[in-house]
Structure 1
């Protein structure tokens, strides 16, 4: 695929990516993916659809393409990624039922964020969300803004060319960011939980205090699941500007 030259992010950024699978599932069963290119100011998150075939491969392809400088939603890039997905998941010795599922294709949400000296820009399909936090206050959340908007059927990026991404399904926006602000990319379970808590209390849960390492994040998620967080793969990418 053709990749434009990656720009340099002049801001001194810091990033933490944390993920944990569903309860009673192993890391290899986690269908979320996140990627970063801190030098270029590129960060991406994708949540593979649970009912889709090899969704973890598709979500990884989408995020890796974005942080490499490509636009995974551009028609030429998307076509190349679809071919890559088929090549990675195909094998001659697959069982017939596995081949049938692969024939149905895969799907995932997508969230890409570009940070530079002027602020940040967001491109999103589906219900993985960006939270812009400044001094512990929520400045912006997108593409969903209310926890009641989440459903079992988000918009998705599909591997099948029969399912293109309509322009109206692509959310784009952004804004300025001050030094010390945080841009938190979160897959749907975490995003919904944060928005619900913010709606009920006016404050976000202290998730940013629990990203020091994977163990801290896993404990935060386990505790949150006892207080309403849905049992789903949970992934965040926090960017400190």
Structure 2
């Protein structure tokens, strides 16, 4: 069997804050193509990572819808990760999905004998909010020099404080959009389900790109875990801890590890989502 010149492996884990159930988790991840974590991926890969704002109604549902739409749109239209009109069109299209979803949700609640209360209508009118991190990874064009190392190109868009970390030799090469732990605040920019000002959303979104080679990693994280990673005195040691969890089957152990960090005061008690993309080649 011929070894592919270069491939990626992708896995992701999502865990609720301590004391909450999985159904209450307001972090969401969507990865395309939908394949097993131990499958070699040779084609483009996209991911959407969202952190729903607890203060808004139906934040978890909006985070799930937004992350899925972002991954799907980035796969279909990679140019949206360059910003401008393409990102504005994406923003308009995903906001347009919210009201139809809300109609179905309201009808389902009524059918279950749990119609919306008056105060729920008031809260829903304000919309739901979430941060957004979208990433697309593409094989770089084939090089004429067959001896040259294979490479992958990645592009990312971020609104808010969900973060991407590019690692090489298990050392941090780039952090995006937050570069230091002290930059995290309590009021990150958010993507609103009723924000029809697509130009404003595009203006507040940051864009970047880079290249990965064999042995590199990308880690996508929501804010609590990202802040823990950036604040670690021994960042290499922190990374080695995180890399212990490599598959969906590790979720129970991942939760136990997170709760240990929380109990020691090292990690804020919040929902956590992480996507790991490993680059391999010969």
Among 13, 21, 27, which residue is 1:32 paired with? Answer: 27
SS of the aligned residue for 2:224 comes to helix
C-alpha distance in 1, partners of 2:192/2:101?
Answer: 11
Q: Between 96-105 and 150-159, report the one with greater CA deviation.
A: 96-105
* 2:26 maps to 1:22: no
| Structure 2 partner of 1:219 | 256
Alignment length, in residue pairs?
Answer: 230
Gapped runs of 5+ residues in structure 2? Answer: 34-42, 75-79, 81-86, 141-152
Q: Does 1:114 align with 2:118?
A: no
**Post-superposition shift, 1:40?**
3.4
8 Å CA contact 2:159, 2:205 repeated in 1: yes
1:3 match: none
Aligned to 1:99: 121
CA distance in 2, matches of 1:75, 1:112: 12
Shift of 1:202: 4.8
Q: What is the CA–CA distance in structure 2 between the aligned matches of 1:224 and 1:235, rounded to whole Å?
A: 15
Larger radius of gyration: 2
Q: CA deviation at 1:81?
A: 2.6
Gaps of 5+ in 1: 1-9
Residue from 69, 76, 81 that aligns with 2:73: 69
Give distance in 2, aligned partners of 1:126 and 1:42: 18
SS of equivalent residue, structure 1 residue 210? coil
Query: C-alpha separation between the residues in 1 aligned to 2:267 and 2:197?
Result: 31
* 1:37–1:67 Cα contact (<8 Å) kept: yes
What SS does structure 1 have at the residue aligned with 2:203? helix
Q: Which residue of 2 aligns with 1:127?
A: 161
Deviation at 1:83, TM superposition (A): 2.8
- Residue 5 (structure 1) aligns with: none
Change (3 A) 1:19 1:202: closer
CA positional deviation for 1:222: 1.4
Output the TM-score relative to the length of structure 2.
0.75
Which residue of structure 2 aligns with residue 170 of structure 1? 205
Q: Which has the higher helix share?
A: 2
1:30 CA drift (Å): 0.1
Does the Cα contact within 8 Å between 1:210 and 1:220 map onto a contact in 2?
Answer: no
Counting only pairs closer than 5 Å after superposition, residues 134-149 of structure 1 correspond to structure 2 as 134-149=168-183
**Alpha-carbon displacement from aligned partner over 1:71-102 (angstroms, at most 9, x marks no partner):** 67524313323334433443452111222211
Query: Does the 8 Å CA contact 1:107/1:158 hold for their aligned counterparts?
Result: yes
Task: After the TM superposition, list the runs of 4 or more consecutive aligned residues in structure 1 that deviate by more than 6 angstroms.
Answer: none
**What is the RMSD computed on CA atoms of the aligned residues?**
2.0
Can you list the C-alpha shifts for 1:150-187, whole angstroms capped at 9, x where unaligned? Answer: 11110000011366544331111010101121111100
Pair 84,184 (structure 1): closer, same or farther in 2 beyond 3 Å: farther
